[in-house]
Amino acid sequence: MDDCLFCKIAAGQIPANKLFEDEQILAFYDIDPQAPVHFLVIPKKHIPSAACLTEQEGALLARIYAVIARLCRELGCENGYRVVTNVGADGGQSVPHLHFHVLAKRSLAWPPG
C-alpha cells in the first residue's frame, strides 16, 4: 500500500533496525521502546490489523510466532516476553498495518492500561 509506513519499511524505503527478514516477514526494533527489548514483527504484505485475518493467513501467523520464539531465544529472553497486537482506536493501534509487539527484559504489568 502506497501510503503505509510499515509497507515502506518492508520495502526498504524507510530505514529500520532489522533483526530478521525473509520473503514474507520482517522484524525490527520499535523506534520508541517500552521495554529493554521491544521489537515489531510484520507481514510484508499489507494487512490492516488482526481484525482482517482469515484462516488463509494461518501459515503466516504460525511463521510469525516461530520467528518471535527464535528471536527471543537468541536475545536471551528466558524469563519470558509478551506478544501484543493492538487493533483499532480502542486497542491503541496507531499504525494501520498488522504488527506484533514483542516486549521483554522487564516484569510487565497486568492488566495493561
3-state secondary structure string across 34-64: CCCEEEEEEECCCCCCHHHCCHHHHHHHHHH
79 touches ligand 5GP by CB under 6 A: no
21 touches ligand 5GP by CB under 6 A: no
104 touches ligand 5GP by CB under 6 A: no
C-beta of 20 vs 29, nearer to ligand 5GP: 29
C-beta of 24 vs 49, nearer to ligand 5GP: 49
